[in-house]
Amino acid sequence: MSSRTTTAVVAGAAVAGLVAYAVYFDYKRRNDAEFRKKLRKEKKRVDKSIASSSAAPSAVSVDSLREALERVKKEEVPITPAERENYFMSQVAMGEQLALQGPDFQLPAALSFYRALRVYPSPVELMVIYEKTVPEPIFKMVIQMTNLDVRAGRRQRHLRRSGIKSQIPGQTPRHHNGSVGIVRGPYPHVCPLLTSSYLCCHLTSICSNTLSFFCSVYIFSTKAELCVGYYNYFPPKSTGVEIRTEDTPEGPRKYVAVIKDFKKEQSVNHEHPIVTALDADIQSAGTHCSHCLRLIESSISIKSPSDPLSSTYCSKACQLLSKSQSHNLLFTTERPLPAEIPMDPPTPETLEERRKAQAAFVSYLQKEGKAGPLLVARFVARQIAFETLKLMPGYTGKHEEQHFTDSEGEEYMLADHMERLRYIEADLPNEEAPLLAKVLGSAVADLDKFMTDEHMTQLRGKITYNAYGVCFSEGRDDKPAPTQRPEDVEKTRTSYGTSRQTGSAFYTLSSYLTHSCRPSAHPSFSSGTAQIHIIADQDLKKGDEVTVAFVDVTQHEGESDVECRRRRRIELARGWKFACTCQRCSEEAKTESNEVATQKDETNL
């Protein structure tokens, strides 16, 4: 009997048993008065115990947790599906029993829940269940142990990069203590990671502890108080700013504050984008670099005749960066993964399937004429390329010249940066996610299974909310007039208006800048590329917030104060779905009805 058949039989038996027990339980509850009485007494006892457990402060030190974790990691982990299922059920049951015994049994209970987590097929899913059902002090211990395990895994990866060869993809990974790791999915050397909002794809070979890899993203996407020091490492101190959290009636608000004084017109910080996309008419014209968005002369432009996007580059360096970050995976039939990663050689049939998938996606991009789908596709591709690169032998952590703002000292994935950003709900055409999924799946087997409608929607929502419009000087005036309804027109953060931009770009740090109709800074693209510079519009003292204008906030000729306020607030409501409450809007509100202020804040964090 195959392992898949065994798993199916075991799962079927388990489900049948649960159904039978549920029927028996419901019958006894309805017809047996003594049984109902026992249930009420048991419920009171459990509620009392859980309340006591939750109220009692945890006195378990980090050292104690680390010591307990090391003991657990030395324990043998069951190998067969049946053994794992029995082990999981027994550990969860033990954890539940220990949780009822009071504060003295919190650590043993947490260890049991953690043991169950080690063998569960979907640790992220189980963490969500734990968060809702396990007493908070015990759940926090599980989180702490997972964090300690993640950090240990990072140290192991660092040692491996220093000289130990990577695990050969396709082999069963083993922890340093010899216990078997968790391998998921039909494609052995690609390990899919799904968080609550989007796709992250990674290679199994980069992680000596697959559980740590899965759970690390859960940690970074859970509640702020459970995040493991992310904002201690991002942004780097060298940027001159930090991200702070402020409690407001609507909930916590994150903002960027300077950590030293800046003079007016001084550059606060600068960064390269994660991904970029030219406006559709400029992409077709071939007048700007498809990677850095620089204006180029036709005599020195670099093109590829077989490129379905008709991309143009200003230099060989930009072309190579584009290919390695996303273009090879999305728009060529070249090898999508580095040579160090074994792959089955493509057949003529698979190459043709890949070409057709790319052609269909490009056709969709040209029909829509929006940057959003292309930015998402390039983000997913760069995510794969970036995480793959970090695991290659000899990787030192040094970044290429054009690199986005990353964390300092600790390793975080692009997924960690993306997960924390504010977003809006995007309403996408039905064919968008399947088209991108087909491109991914035709390049690397099974990648298509993870680009679902939900993930595509949430990725689009994050990029839509945070993308900047790249405008050189004061922007252009030859962009074709939109044919969509005003509320459907794609918008980006630019004080000159989206109609004047050359393209769109998505950044890590600059995404945290908040809007103000009286901003303290403005974005500049003085380098002639998509590299963004945040320039102070006034003297900034240490601790001051850095704000920018998402829309054109200048009062146009012949426009009254009321008309100006209404115009910019309508644009904000259409593009970012919130009503501005900045000081300028509050002051001007005294002379205008609260018509636009009724816009409900539909952004999410």
Q: What is the amino acid identity at position 81?
A: P
pLDDT of residue 150: 63
Across 464-481, average pLDDT: 96
Q: CA 65, CA 107: separation in Å to the nearest integer?
A: 8
Between 433 and 250, the higher pLDDT residue: 433
Q: Longest Cα pair distance anywhere in the chain, in angstroms? A: 90
pLDDT of residue 573: 94
Q: CA 544, CA 262: separation in Å to the nearest integer?
A: 10
Do the beta carbons of residue 258 and residue 284 sit within 8 Å? Answer: no
pLDDT of residue 503: 98
pLDDT of residue 13: 43
Instruction: For 487-525, give the DSSP string.
Output: GGS---B-TT-GGG-SEEEE-SSGGGPEE-SS-SEEEE-
In tens, the pLDDT along 176-232 reads 332 222 222 222 222 333 333 333 333 333 333 333 333 433 333 343 333 447 888
- Minimal CA–CA distance to 205: which of 459, 46, 389? 389
Residue ranges covered by each domain of the chain: 1-31, 32-229, 242-269+481-598, 307-465
> Across all residues in the chain, what is the average pLDDT?
79
Query: Where residue 127 falls among pLDDT bands split at 50, 70, 90?
Result: confident
The helix (run of H) or strand (run of E) holding residue 201 is strand 199-202
pLDDT of residue 404: 87
pLDDT of residue 389: 78
Q: CA 372, CA 200: separation in Å to the nearest integer?
A: 18
12-26, 82-96, 331-345, 392-406: least confident range: 12-26
Cβ within 8 Å of residue 492, ≥6 positions away = 371, 467, 468, 469, 498, 501, 504
Do the beta carbons of residue 100 and residue 44 sit within 8 Å? Answer: no
458 alpha carbon, distance to own chain's centre: 9
pLDDT of residue 61: 82
Q: Within 13 Å of residue 268, how many CA atoms lie on the same side as its CB?
A: 34
Q: Give the SS3 label for residue 262.
A: strand
31-35, 274-278, 480-484: least confident range: 31-35
In tens, the pLDDT along 586-604 reads 998 876 655 544 556 666 7
Strand pairing report for 267-271 and 275-278: unpaired
- Minimal CA–CA distance to 276: which of 230, 237, 327, 240? 327
Please state the pTM of the whole predicted model. 0.68
pLDDT of residue 598: 55
In tens, the pLDDT along 285-335 reads 999 999 999 999 888 899 988 899 999 999 999 999 999 999 999 999 999
Q: CA 180, CA 172: separation in Å to the nearest integer?
A: 7
Query: Where residue 4 falls among pLDDT bands split at 50, 70, 90?
Result: very low
Strand pairing report for 267-271 and 251-258: unpaired
In tens, the pLDDT along 516-559 reads 999 999 999 999 999 999 999 999 999 999 999 999 999 999 99
DSSP annotation of 174: B
pLDDT of residue 407: 85
Do the beta carbons of residue 446 and residue 187 sit within 8 Å? Answer: yes
Q: CA 142, CA 69: separation in Å to the nearest integer?
A: 10
Length of the chain counted residue by residue: 605
Q: CA 240, CA 258: separation in Å to the nearest integer?
A: 6
Provide the terminal-to-terminal Cα distance of the chain, rounded to the nearest Å: 47
Instruction: For 518-586, give the DSSP string.
Output: S-SEEEE-TTSSS-EEEEESS-B-TTPBPEE-SS--SPPTT--HHHHHHHHHHHHHHHH------HHHH
| 96, two tokens | 């539940």
Question: What percentage of residues in the chain have a pLDDT greater than 70?
Answer: 72
Instruction: For 2-50, give the DSSP string.
Output: -HHHHHHHHHHHHHHHHHHHHHHHHHHHHH-HHHHHHHHHHHHHHHHHH
Does position 579 have pLDDT exceeding 80, yes or no? yes
| CATH number belonging to domain 242-269+481-598 | 2.170.270.10
Across 501-506, average pLDDT: 98
Cβ within 8 Å of residue 552, ≥6 positions away = 495, 496, 497, 568, 571
